[in-house]
Amino acid sequence: MDGGIVNSRVLKSAIDSGACGYLTVDLAALSRNYDKLSAIVAPTKTAAVVKADSYGLGADQVSKVLYGRGCRHFFVAHFIEALRLRPQLPGDATIFVLNGLLSGNEATCADGGIVPVINSLDQLQQWSQTARSLQRRLPAVLQFDTGMSRLGIPPEDRSAVATHLQASDDIDILFIMSHLASADEASSGQNADQLAEMRRVATEFPQYDVSFANSGGIFLGGDFHGVLARPGIALYGGAPTGGVANPMEAVVRLDVAVVQTRTVPEGARVGYAGVHVTKGRTRLATIAAGYADGLPRSLSDRGAVYYNGVRLPIVGRVSMDSTTIDISALPEGALSFGSMVEVLGDHQTVDDLARDAGLISYEILTSLGHRFHRQYR
């Protein structure tokens, strides 16, 4: 992503739209990330996880771009997301619902050509009943719990699922899958445990292909790939593996406007509850974004923004709509009303900001608000 401060034309566009900042989603970087992940897992196919509005970046725009790169498999979490996305993609794109269906959504799902991920015997039975009522076979994916204890058919129900499938031919199982719980920790023993359990499942259901790797799983090696990899955070520039250099390109840049600057004396209290007290004469700026815009309150007195590569610490508590920063490290007059500071960009990645907030990159991306002017390029 291009460096530097947002130019005057871009700033005017943001101001004219009434926005408090400028959020750039680099679709070219997104495409290159998809290509890179696809190359790593080839000949395994690569899907795209676009749940939570593509991690907050816009599922319509992201999905169309990835479709153009050859992606034909898209995963959302909830059925409502699939209904919204379906009209945006050509008919040969398959949309999968990771959480499966709540009772009552089956007929609408079948009519929309959407594929549920079956996580329980109950969901399987309801989907079979829908197929029988429509007098046609319906596609589905079976998800098995291999050690995360979240979603997926538990070990004790595998025999009943196999019996159901043998007794009925109304469901077309496209593949079976599971989700890795610790793939971002390459050295975690849980990865090997889950791989061993997935292999046991595959032995019990030998007629079906396997999908296993998420973003981190792609980097664990070919044993984890299966026939379809399902990257999420890595597509959007987040680090797929902790403790090593991030191989993905940044996709998001965020610049926020300064709405006020001032100089305060030693002993001045800053922000709610006066938790920050200046230790000397201090120059401050207030920027037009707070926790309602995706700057977590946990950044209070610990996070920072940047201007021309200079780190500007957040002082006091992050408010709902504004955040105060210490600009004493800049020359007098460098920042003024209307200047833009970098929250995410060349000097601070989404993982950096998440670390300072005590969160993960997923939380930062999915929290970015809609009061920013958004540009897709």
How many C-beta neighbours within 10 Å does residue 103 have? Answer: 8
Strand partners, 376: 25
DSSP secondary structure of 29-91: HHHHHHHHHHHHHTTSEE-EE-HHHHHHT-HHHHHHHHHHTT--EEEESSHHHHHHHGGGS-T
What is the Cα–Cα distance from 223 to 213, expressed in whole angstroms? 9
349: helix, strand or coil: coil
d(CA 134, CA 126) in angstroms, rounded, equals 12
Exposure string for 289-327, b = 16+ CB within 10 A, e = fewer = bbbebbbbebbbeebbbbbeebebbbbbbbbebbbbbbb
Our measurement of the distance from residue 283's CA atom to the centroid of its chain's CA atoms, rounded to an integer in Å, reads 36
DSSP E strands, the chain: 21-25, 45-46, 48-49, 73-76, 94-97, 115-118, 138-143, 171-177, 210-211, 228-229, 252-264, 269-270, 276-277, 282-287, 304-307, 310-313, 323-326, 340-344, 373-376
10-33: buried (b, 16+ CB within 10 Å) or exposed (e) per residue? Answer: bbeebeeeebbbbbbbbbebbbeb
CA-nearest of 246, 214, 219 to 352 is: 246
Strands 373-376 vs 340-344: parallel, antiparallel or unpaired: unpaired
Residues taking part in catalysis = 51, 272
Tell me how far apart the alpha carbons of residues 89 and 242 are, in angstroms, rounded to a whole number: 33
Please name the helix (run of DSSP H) or strand (run of DSSP E) that holds residue 353, with its range, or none: helix 350-357
